[in-house]
A and B are shown apart, each in its own frame.
Chain A
Amino acid sequence: MSKHNVSRRQFLSYTLTGVGGFMAAGMLMPMVRFAVDPVLKADAGGDFIATNQKVSDLTTEPKRVDFTYEQTDAWYKSEETKVAWVYKDDNGKIVALSPVCKHLGCTVDWNTDKSNPNQFFCPCHYGRYTKDGVNVPGTPPVAPLDVYDYNEKDGMLYLGQVKPHKGA
């Protein structure tokens, strides 16, 4: 055992700092954990929401599908409505696109620009996307439209989380 000379003053300052730190931590730890709770809360997402769209009624023409769900925002519950543009591609596969423009977040519409038929069109800054959701080069959007996860149950269309476009 080596001989360390700890002075009375040093010993007192160490013990007081230790005890004081312990007490401060006992106070602050619950408060900090309380404050950061939203970051650590597990994500509840991943549920599919039923729509009123029959899968068999879908054509190759994009159709606007509105669907509502109950959103729980801490103590506030509300009905929220989301929109998807849904169609079947040439292979009969369902494509559900988010209508949120990837430029500045306006809502895109199908086939409303007369000079560029059969494209998704954003009226805010004339952003355009081809039918598969890919942004037309030379227009403001910088990425393709997001895609909804989808599911089919009892012939009805169910939509889930919005994911970035995989193709293109």
Chain B
Amino acid sequence: MLNKIYDWVDERLDITPLWRDIADHEVPEHVNPAHHFSAFVYCFGGLTFFITVIQILSGMFLTMYYVPDIKNAWQSVFYLQNEVAFGQIIRGMHHWGASLVIVMMFLHTLRVFFQGAYKKPRELNWIVGVLIFFIVLGLGFTGYLLPWDMKALFATKVGLQIAESVPFIGTAIKTLLAGDPTIVGAQTLTRFFAIHVFFLPGALMGLLAAHFLMIRKQGISGPL
């Protein structure tokens, strides 16, 4: 049945070369943990991506209940966690995944750094990777405020003070992030929400596409 549908589409659109390009490629022996167990370090990048996919999916579902409003944010989080079926699981996935994605990304960065895989001709990919690192840290920072509890509020206050300590433009940066020069409130929450669910994920997807295109074009770095 599935084969027939596939053949029907393939006959018309010739999709086999398309997915072959994406999925069908050699995995060199030195990155295959079945040959050398220590090659598991090459899994960190893929694991980071896998957890990112979980973050995007669970985040999409969380927004079905969450509202970025100072009166209702905490209530809606409480409701979705305690009243909705599997709410604790979905929020748990997003909560723990957020930390795990940073851990995995850091391990991936360490592997690339200590193997010298960032060297010519892969410098551009390293730069894109560093940008991805900052985007993910930004996602962590903005997402932390959204439950709108005490921990979220004071963590954000501290984060905004750090931003304010930038010479000359610090105050402007803080106001731009918080939406108000002094208050961390209604505008801060909506801004952080918009940044967290639209701006940063959009940028992340573009950068990830560039990251993957480059690794496919250049191939994985050779054995040490």
Contacts and interface: CB of A to CB of B under 8 A. Distances in A.
Interface of A: 27-28, 30-31, 33-35, 37, 40, 74-76
Interface in B104-137: none
Interface of B: 54, 57-58, 61, 64-65, 72, 75-76, 78-80, 83-87, 89-90, 93
A48 B144 CA distance: 43
A27 B57 contact: yes
19 contacts: A27-B54, A27-B93, A30-B93, A31-B57, A31-B61, A31-B90, A33-B86, A34-B64, A34-B80, A34-B84, A35-B61, A37-B85, A37-B86, A74-B65, A74-B76, A75-B72, A75-B78, A76-B72, A76-B75
Given A27-B54, A27-B57, A34 B87 contact: yes
B92 to A, nearest CB: 9
Closest 7 CB pairs of A and B: A75-B75, A30-B86, A75-B79, A30-B89, A34-B86, A37-B84, A31-B61
Contacts of B79: 74-75
Nearest to B67: A75
A9 to B, nearest CB: 13
Given A37-B84, A74-B65, A74-B83, A31 B76 contact: no
Nearest to B92: A30
Contacts of B57: 27-28, 31
Contacts of B83: 74
B78 A34 contact: no
Given A34-B64, A34-B86, 18 more contacts: A27-B54, A27-B93, A30-B86, A30-B93, A31-B58, A31-B61, A31-B90, A34-B80, A34-B87, A34-B89, A34-B90, A35-B64, A37-B84, A74-B65, A74-B83, A75-B75, A76-B72, A76-B75
Contacts of A76: 72, 75
A75 B61 CA distance: 17
Nearest to A74: B79
Contacts of B85: 33-34, 37, 40
A74 B58 CA distance: 20
A15 to B, nearest CB: 15
A74 B84 CA distance: 10
A62 B87 CA distance: 48
A49 B160 CA distance: 50
Contacts of A30: 86, 89-90, 93
A75 B89 contact: no
A25 B127 CA distance: 35
Nearest to A30: B86
A81 to B, nearest CB: 22
A33 B80 CA distance: 12
Contacts of B84: 34, 37
Residue among B64, B85, B87, B93 facing the most chain A CB atoms (10 A cut-off): B85
B90 A75 contact: no
A76 B78 CA distance: 12
